[in-house]
Structure 1
Amino acid sequence: MSTPKTRSDWENLAVSLAINGKAFINGEYRDASSGNTFDCISPIDGRLLAPVASCDLMDANIAVANAREVFDSGVWSKAAPVKRKQVMIRFAELLEENANELALLETLDMGKPIRFSKAVDVAGAARAIRWSGEAIDKLYDELAPTAHNEIGMITREPVGVVAAIVPWNFPLLMACWKLGPALVTGNSVILKPSEKSPLTAIRIAELAVQAGIPKGVLNVLPGYGHTVGKALALHMDVDTLVFTGSTKIAKQLMIYAGESNMKRVWLEAGGKSPNIVFNDAPDLKAAAVAAAEAIGFNQGEVCTAGSRLLVESGVKDELVGLIAEELASWQPGHPLEPTTVSGAVVDKQQLDTILSYIKAGQNEGASLVYGGQQVLAETGGVYVQPTVFSNVKNQMKIASEEIFGPVLSVIEFNGMEEAIAIANDTIYGLAAGVWTADISKAHKTAKALRSGMVWINHYDGGDMTAPFGGYKQSGNGRDKSLHSFDKYTEIKATWIVL
């Protein structure tokens, strides 16, 4: 399928787009049991996209019962790995075949530029599904080293019914990071997308069945966290809960798991990632380009955003100037314009949050050196300039709290030990960047950082082969890589005396 070439092409495609807002349970679309809906509003211009089913406890009970029934039947859970592999690869192909529609849904729903919706989100989602599918028949069980009259087998089995709660910033991609390993290992899944961006999750449920995933194996329940999300987290017949979102909600989900059936809980939560630039950075221009992208990409609505820029004193002024120059190319524009690199933030609530942090930074004495304003208000959409604060102290709100917007805090340091101390002085530990020409300094700093991912002389590297996740209150468990399969399987030890 060819890609529309102009904004007008995308807008024409949007006119003919059929938007489905229903829940998907046991292989069919249906209204919420209560009949309730909520409005899905586009942050691009404030228009209504569709009413969406607002699911609650009744829908969770129905979906979990169906998911359990199909799991116990063995039609998917006991299928040969190579069979599940073939179906998952077909699922990936269908995501690619419907890439224009999925990208358009993502952009209309969440506000991100269409170029990234297609090239990053949809392409990455298909890659995640295909990678997991390809991996499943290459994973071997184990035999323990035993005496001659004994056999010790260590085998993996699907955990059962999985509830996956995914965020609004990368709705399709984050869903597929979880659906890939969860489905291919034989589980039944109930996917709860964010009420802020549910449309692609609803659409791909139909594609999954078309690919050959049995009805009831993948269910999608749109709705609010305090209703259907809470119902899934407390459900006594959900075996595993996986979540990507804020640290505050992650903590609440852990409580719900403890109050119910001690379901396994895997959490990818917040971040306040340090991007550390030493005086001997090999290419200061490259560091500035990366720093601008690390805060500007996806409107700063990224858990790994390089929102704390730690700069050694000798290059601080030069680097801040270079970043300001780079951010000129990250100004918000219409998301359906193919050249746009920064679009709308997800909704008015998030815009107000970002603006409140900008005001707090000014009140606390940080120096606003770039941006800081709402723009394009006349469109009816929600847009904000990328923003840079200098002379920031690590204890300020803008440096210590996750903003989830394009707000960069520049913090000065002197020497490796101070850089490490500042970087680790946070409740989070998701990601970090290190810029230096000294290989020993790079290794020492990377080892000392309490962070799940460290990137040297670049920012936001890795692919499906590398695990994604963090330390401390950034969560537990890992998405991507073979390590992700640990979240969706039980390990069984079977000991045989001959």
Structure 2
Amino acid sequence: MTVLEGPSIPATTPSEVAGFIARDHGLLIAGQWRPSSGGRTVVSVNPATGQPLATLAAGERADVDDAVAAARAALADPGWRDISPLQRGELLHALADLVEAHADELALIESLDNGKPVSVARAVDVGTTAKLFRYFAGWPSKFEGSTIPISPRGGLRVLNYTVHEPIGVVGAIVPWNFPMSMAAWKLAPALAMGNAVVLKPAEQTSLSTLRLAELIGQAGFPSGVVNVVTGLGSVVGAAIAGHGGVDKVAFTGSTAVGRLVTAAALGNMKKVSLELGGKSPHIVLPDADPAAVARAACDGIFFNQGQTCTAGSRLYVHADIYDEVMSALIDEARRIVVGPGHDPATQMGPLVSASQLDTVGSYIESGLADGAELACGGSRPAGLGAEYADGYFLEPTVLTETTHAMRVVREEIFGPVLVAMRWTDVDDLIDKANDSPYGLSAGLWTNDLTKAHRIAAAIKAGTVWINCYNLTDPASPFGGYKQSGWGREMGRAVLDQYTETKSVWVNLT
């Protein structure tokens, strides 16, 4: 262990983590770490202290050009182009092994950089990353083409078959809420299918992705197969989205930025997949267990500080059990321990940045001005140490007496703010649940499976959880309806996003 000066890193931080964070972090291009071509840097901040944590290279358009050139060279290199499907799978398995071997280190890096509890980073972020690489390690030798029985004109005998080929250079742009696991959402299928990647992590939370990139090299992936360009989204992200040498862009983030990515991609008509925002309804029928619902609803909105695209931010409770559910839920919310992510007792950490805290605070003020009532939270938690005076902390917040005319009900807040409403008529409930530009996910609680399946069928969302919430798995496709995105992440479905299908016709006459 090492003892460090300054407020950004706890004194108990292990030396390997402290040493990694203290570096001047460069860009990974063609297997080499180097500074930005313009020499500029960007500072990562510890959300728990509001103080500088690490210095990152701020990439320029020229650096994206170099990264794309390195990726195209890797695609043409026999060391990547010609390896067998089983060998690609072996590389992904080796990477999963390394992620698991460095799990505690990666989780602490993620916690310090993002703010989330280290227990969540260990179980969810690191655990999901390893599972993703393991799951997709099995696909390279199993993603088969097909032979197609056709009926050609003139009585010709023709063999028609399909093959799946790598799409080429993938530009992957990932968000700050799950930095490493979201990077793996894109890296795992892209690499399994034989592509090369230019990866842009969020400027607020690049550290875990940079450490993952080091492990990718240790696993044996050839130079240039994965390139990482850190920096501002308006510079690096925009350059990737508009680059003529990028064949596909995979983006996770806000719907507003997703529109910009789509517009930029039109230049060379590159393929685009988008995983965007959400304002997910969490529905409670009158036969549900209030205590179980209260626990699940708290987890659904306060997990990861509410900074989750699937957050169950709109709670609809049947009027018959509304008071009982809300009483139990508010008690649960008040018991949540808010503190720095590295503290084992912490259940909810700070928000990621000062601007995000300001945004969430403005939504709370808007809701109260519109007539909502503050049932709990809404302020900075008491009892935090002086070293966290500038941290971006907010109590779990519940607003009641809300209506669909309010911004807090209609817009994605991306913070620990729950809006609660009563309902009595199921048809009106479904209309209100679907009355949103988003359609990412929904939750439903009932012991009546007939009603559960009927309501699930009526909800316009890519994922519906029944008597559970926020479950994902690498084998199950994930994505949204409407303005929540295009395409699917994970599962068999995502492989089509990272391949081109070629139809081959052979005249046998």
**TM-score (norm: length of structure 1):** 0.96
Change (3 A) 1:12 1:273: same
Indicate yes or no: 2:106 matched with 1:129. Answer: no
**Residue-by-residue CA offset, 1:267-315 (whole Å, 9 max, x unaligned):** 000000000001122x221111000011111000000000000111111
Indicate yes or no: 2:314 matched with 1:304. Answer: no
Indicate yes or no: 2:353 matched with 1:347. Answer: yes
Q: Is the 8 A contact 2:487 2:494 kept in 1?
A: yes
Indicate yes or no: 2:256 matched with 1:254. Answer: no
Change (3 A) 1:493 1:455: same
Any unmatched runs of 5+ in structure 1?
1-6
Indicate yes or no: 2:428 matched with 1:418. Answer: yes
Q: Is the 8 A contact 1:115 1:339 kept in 2?
A: no
Aligned match of 2:4: none
- Which deviates further from its counterpart, 264-273 or 145-154? 145-154
CA distance in 2, matches of 1:237, 1:96: 34
Change (3 A) 1:233 1:217: same
Task: Name the SS of the counterpart of 1:331 in structure 2.
Answer: coil
Indicate yes or no: 2:278 matched with 1:265. Answer: no
CA distance in 2, matches of 1:303, 1:243: 13
**Residue-by-residue CA offset, 1:119-151 (whole Å, 9 max, x unaligned):** 111111011011101222122211101368211
Indicate yes or no: 2:13 matched with 1:11. Answer: yes
**Residue-by-residue CA offset, 1:359-398 (whole Å, 9 max, x unaligned):** 1110000111111102348412110001001111122111
Task: Name the SS of the counterpart of 1:35 in structure 2.
Answer: coil
**Residue-by-residue CA offset, 1:179-213 (whole Å, 9 max, x unaligned):** 00001100000110000100111111121111111
**Residue-by-residue CA offset, 1:416-442 (whole Å, 9 max, x unaligned):** 111110100000000000111211111
Aligned match of 1:278: 285
Change (3 A) 1:14 1:351: farther
**TM-score (norm: length of structure 2):** 0.94
Amino acid at match of 1:436: T
Equivalent positions of 1:445-460 (< 5 A) are 445-460=455-470
- Say how many residue pairs are matched: 490
Tell me which of 344, 352, 364 is aligned to 1:358: 364
Tell me which of 185, 196, 201 is aligned to 1:177: 185
**Residue-by-residue CA offset, 1:344-369 (whole Å, 9 max, x unaligned):** 11011111111111111100001111
1:8 positional shift: 7.4
Change (3 A) 1:203 1:403: same
1:239 positional shift: 0.2
Task: Name the SS of the counterpart of 1:156 in structure 2.
Answer: strand
Q: Is the 8 A contact 1:377 1:383 kept in 2?
A: no
Q: Is the 8 A contact 2:44 2:56 kept in 1?
A: yes
Amino acid at match of 1:406: P
Equivalent positions of 1:143-154 (< 5 A) are 143-146=147-150, 149-154=157-162
CA distance in 1, matches of 2:269, 2:231: 24
Aligned match of 1:56: 60
Indicate yes or no: 2:330 matched with 1:317. Answer: no
Aligned match of 1:102: 106
Tell me which of 35, 42, 47 is aligned to 2:46: 42
Indicate yes or no: 2:299 matched with 1:293. Answer: yes
Q: Is the 8 A contact 2:334 2:376 kept in 1?
A: no
CA distance in 2, matches of 1:458, 1:51: 40
1:9 positional shift: 8.3
CA distance in 2, matches of 1:114, 1:462: 20
Q: Is the 8 A contact 2:170 2:247 kept in 1?
A: yes
Aligned match of 1:3: none
% identity of equivalent residues: 43
Q: Is the 8 A contact 2:161 2:503 kept in 1?
A: yes
Amino acid at match of 1:136: P
1:12 positional shift: 4.4
Tell me which of 207, 210, 213 is aligned to 2:221: 213
Which of structure 1's runs of 4+ aligned residues deviate more than 4 A? 7-10, 12-15
Amino acid at match of 2:343: E
1:40 positional shift: 1.0
CA distance in 1, matches of 2:385, 2:359: 16
- Which deviates further from its counterpart, 59-68 or 461-470? 461-470
CA distance in 2, matches of 1:363, 1:288: 26
Tell me which of 232, 242, 247 is aligned to 2:240: 232
Aligned match of 1:158: 166
1:461 positional shift: 2.2
Q: Is the 8 A contact 1:78 1:186 kept in 2?
A: no
Aligned match of 1:33: 37
Amino acid at match of 1:293: D
- Which deviates further from its counterpart, 130-139 or 114-123? 130-139
